[in-house]
Amino acid sequence: MSNIIFHIDMNAFYANVEMAYDPSLRGKPLAISGNAKERKGIVVTCSYEARALGVKPPMPLWEAKRLCPGLIVRTPNFDRYRSSSQEMFTILREYSDLVEPVSIDEGYIDLTHTPYAEHAVKTAHDIQTRLVEELMLPSSIGIAPNKFLAKMASNWKKPMGITILRKRDVPNMLWPLPAGDMHGVGQKTAEKLKKIGIHTIEDLAKANEYTLKELLGINGPRLKQKANGEHDGIVDPERIYEFKSVGNSSTLPHDSDDSDELVTLIDKLSHSVSARLRRKEVMANRLLIMIRYASWKNITRSVMLTNPTDRKEDIFEAAKQLFLKHWNDQPVRLLGVTGTDLVERKAAVKQLDLFSYTEDAKEEPLQTILDGLKEKYGKSLVQRGITIKEKESKTSGTSFNKDFFQDERGND
């Protein structure tokens, strides 16, 4: 395989985290439910012992208890799950810098240019073993030449499965499956496909591209490519920034080590990012660049800006300096510029700087109080010069992955 991509999927993650913290729960039917005392509560996840008795998410809790009278129910402990997830990703990053968290309990690793690539199956076993021994958490791992196939492979054997899915295996392993079992095909899409005679992944792989585009838009041809085992998405560690970022990237017409040409491209990308920030009426506090070399090696670097900005000149200057600092003079295939840590323009003001020091000095007693609050409750509680609107989520589950990604970003 030209690339070695792992997809790691933690098995019944919330339930197994609870078992790791309370070993007395091991081997028992356990369900995690957000509303354990109410009839409207649903099963978020459950142990494999509960699943063997017919319990499965998102089943109503009353039905789960009818199927399994001895079901043990726990409410979600998101701080606990977040902590375990961070420990899990810390282990994964020991094998490669290219780790892309997808959610709190799954992620991709690109091992292509690492010493582990030659022993992929052994490495998968090592990762599984460490996750169990160090965190008491089981996982399933898919090994494939691209992200899509790795994701499909990780679903093959649960719990504690390891599956290799090569592109040449697609006709025998993937094509017989229902189209609705394919990653990226939801229930509504599967129903649309059935109406035009597409029932299996093989049907989708051989379908007329024009017909698919008419039915599903641009997503139609993309699904056909995946059904044929093709997917060119890279493992991008910076994808966690997408929840609060505005960026643009461009592939050069040829691999280039011409600094003037590369800086000119950064200038164009900075202009695009600036325009999009202005359209969205937001400003960036952090600037990030991505460099993809001709060898397909990717690096990302970021810097905190002095003040929040949407000005092209500020973005270009920060991006250019980051690029010149970290570029290794090797030919470049692609460049990307991204503004992150966004705030609404109307809420963004200039930060304390040298020119306003005298005027701000008289606020020193207030600053002392703010420093004390930060020390006690954390730096993110109060930020001088920026008003941050906090929106309380009505349901912990829907926004939890976003919270997790914010935590991941803070740990970089």
Residue 179 buriedness (CB in 10 A; 0-12 / 13-18 / 19+): buried
Contact (CB, 8 A) for 310 and 283: yes
Residue 190 buriedness (CB in 10 A; 0-12 / 13-18 / 19+): middle
Contact (CB, 8 A) for 102 and 236: no
Neighbours of 176 (CB within 10 A): 11
- Alpha-carbon torsion, ordered 353, 355, 361, 366, to 10 deg: -40
Place of tokens 């020119």: 355
- Distance between CA atoms of residues 311 and 24, nearest Å: 57
The phi-psi region of residue 106 (left if phi > 0; otherwise alpha if psi is between -120 and 50; otherwise beta) is: beta
Q: Cite the active site residues.
A: 106
- Distance between CA atoms of residues 323 and 267, nearest Å: 12
Q: Using the 8-state DSSP alphabet, how is residue 352 labeled?
A: P
Consult the annotation and say whether 105 binds a ligand: yes
* Sequence-distant (≥ 6) Cβ neighbours of residue 283 within 8 angstroms: 277, 308, 309, 310, 339, 342, 343, 344, 345, 348
Consult the annotation and say whether 97 binds a ligand: no
- Distance between CA atoms of residues 144 and 5, nearest Å: 5
Place of tokens 């323009």: 345
Contact (CB, 8 A) for 62 and 78: no
Neighbours of 311 (CB within 10 A): 14
Q: Which of 69, 77, 19 is nearest to 48 (CA)?
A: 19
Q: Which of 403, 406, 280, 393 is nearest to 341 (CA)?
A: 406
Q: Which residue positions form the known binding site for Mg(2+)? A: 9, 105
